[in-house]
Amino acid sequence: MSLSPEQKAEIEEQRSQSNKTLRVVSEGMEKHLYTAHEVLDHGFVRVIDYMGDDAAICQAARVSYGKGTKSVQNDAGLIRYLMRHWHSTPFEMCEIKLHVKLPVFVARQWIRHRTANVNEYSARYSILDREFYIPAPEHVAAQSVVNNQGRGAALQGEEAARVLEILKADSNRAYDHYEEMISQDGQDGLARELARMNLPANIYTQWYWKVDLHNLFHFLRLRADHHAQYEIRVYADAMCKIVADWVPAAYGAFEDYRMGGANMSGRAMDCVRRMLKGEEVTQENSGMSKGEWREFEAELNG
């Protein structure tokens, strides 16, 4: 991970400060404030600011003054009820602002989640650093033969080494040309907004990303799933650990009902009922397509 000296100094200064406040503070989240959690080879996730905690979710659901007289146990039960019945607005009362450093191709997946506020590092105004994502050998894999948007078995030996060498060489060659174009023997050179277009998608960018807890849970449900691309999943995994410390009751309910639960169609529920009655149910008599049945079996078999 590469933090600039200026960023390190800023983090140290921020972490050395202690401010008195009347607003709700999550002790679990306080330890994460400004700390950079390493992701991939040069990336990180760090919390810049946050609002709310588990009690804030319950307060919004009850529309009450202060914390009221409810116990932590009652709050946890209410949060599980809200999650179980898809009552999303109380979770929107909590927000988090993250500073994320990530490869451009990961950012282009990430930005598909259009329910956040984003401000990205501008390569029109600034010069990007020579930092590229180069996967570890175990993550250099062939195209999957069963999933058009996934990877299969890892490449081995000389083939993996050849691919890694191409990635490194092409990345550095593109950056060499980028530098040449923006600075030509003391002359003005090409405009930065044009020179950037030749850079590869594995170069690192940075942004501030602010989102409420409801939409963050939706992001994590999709991106922390084992089907998600590895390079975005590791960011989601790091964020899961942060959220678990921030709102432990809400994260526990999310983990149980969303990450560990399953959504079933009416046909799938009918099949479950028939199975419980002892009936033999097959794909042919289920009313499901082969794809639906395959997914149904996967859910039942874990």
- 149 and 181 belong to one structural domain: yes
- 171 and 185 belong to one structural domain: yes
- 123 and 196 belong to one structural domain: no
The stretch 228-250 carries a mean pLDDT of 97
pLDDT of 70 reads: 61
pLDDT of 18 reads: 79
pTM of the model: 0.89
- 26 and 117 belong to one structural domain: yes
Q: Among the three residues 152, 169, 201, which one is the final residue of a domain in this structure?
A: 201
Residue stretches of the annotated binding site for dUMP: 109-112, 120-124, 196, 223
- 126 and 219 belong to one structural domain: yes
pLDDT of 214 reads: 98
- Give 145-153's long-range contacts (Cβ < 8 A, gap of 24+): 150/227, 150/229, 151/230
- pLDDT category of residue 9 using cuts at 50, 70 and 90: confident
- Residue 43, exposed/middle/buried by CB under 10 A (0-12, 13-18, 19+)? buried
CB neighbours of 161 closer than 8 A, spacing ≥ 6? 137
- Say which of 223, 233, 273, 294 is annotated catalytic: 223
3-state SS class at 80:
helix
Q: Is the pLDDT of residue 149 over 80?
A: no
- Compute the distance between CA of residue 108 and CA of residue 253 in angstroms, rounded to an integer: 29
- 197 and 209 belong to one structural domain: no
Higher pLDDT, residue 22 or 95: 95
| pLDDT, tens only, 181-194 | 997 665 678 999 99
- 242 and 142 belong to one structural domain: no
Residue 84 annotated to the active site: no
- pLDDT category of residue 302 using cuts at 50, 70 and 90: confident
Domain CATH for 36: 3.30.1360.170
Residue stretches of the annotated binding site for FAD: 89, 112-114, 120, 212-214, 218
Percentage of the chain beyond pLDDT 70 is: 94
Residue stretches of the annotated binding site: 89, 109-114, 120-124, 196, 212-214, 218, 223
- pLDDT category of residue 14 using cuts at 50, 70 and 90: confident
pLDDT of 84 reads: 94
Strand partners, 44: 38, 101
- 227 and 111 belong to one structural domain: yes
Instruction: Give residue for tokens 């299969």.
Output: 152
pLDDT of 72 reads: 63
pLDDT of 91 reads: 97
| pLDDT, tens only, 67-123 | 555 666 789 999 999 999 999 999 999 999 999 999 999 999 999 999 999 999 999
- 86 and 128 belong to one structural domain: yes
Q: Is the pLDDT of residue 204 over 70?
A: yes
8 A C-beta contact, residue 142 and residue 152 = yes
| pLDDT, tens only, 259-287 | 998 889 999 999 999 999 999 999 999 99
CB neighbours of 51 closer than 8 A, spacing ≥ 6? 23, 24, 93, 94, 95, 96
Q: Which domain holds residue 167?
A: 134-201
- Residue 87, exposed/middle/buried by CB under 10 A (0-12, 13-18, 19+)? middle
Q: Is the pLDDT of residue 230 over 90?
A: yes
The stretch 30-46 carries a mean pLDDT of 95
